[in-house]
Structure 1
Amino acid sequence: MSDEIQRDLGSQPINELLKKWGIDNHELVEASKEQLTHKQVQKARKGRRVTANIQKKILNALKSVTEERGLDSEASLVDLFNYRN
């Protein structure tokens, strides 16, 4: 059991940030210049473990959306996820 990776990590900080700014999953997917799916964003928000690559895609999409909206976002991966791969 101790060697098993915990997959469900509870709601992540990204979920609260997106709620606060009124950004939904579709906006992130639409803003992404990389291949990012609704399912990946939803998994990340709910606290299912996602890869470092997906975390970076979500961060890049978030930066695009906040820049487009004129929001000041200096968010980093540490601000969005309370775990790191």
Structure 2
Amino acid sequence: SQLYQIRGRVGRSDRRAYCYLVVPPGVTDEAEKRLRILEHHTELGSGYAIAMKDLELRGAGNILGAEQSGHVHAVGLD
């Protein structure tokens, strides 16, 4: 989300803006996936699509607990 926010700060006028991200070699597979998501969602208003892809990668977390990411194994109460 931080990269998407930085990208959004660039384009705040009536002229088309560009955001170039310089990535060092050897980034993790997870970082590579996140960068690819940003690369493929470049249209205005892409935030929702990016958030959904991030949800797929990280998981929703524990709905009834404190964890903010991770995949939910079961929903319900005992």
TM-score (norm 2): 0.34
Larger RCO (alpha carbons 8 Å, 6+ apart): 1
TM-score (norm 1): 0.32
Larger gyration radius, structure 1 or structure 2 = 2
**Where is the helix percentage greater, Structure 1 or Structure 2?**
1
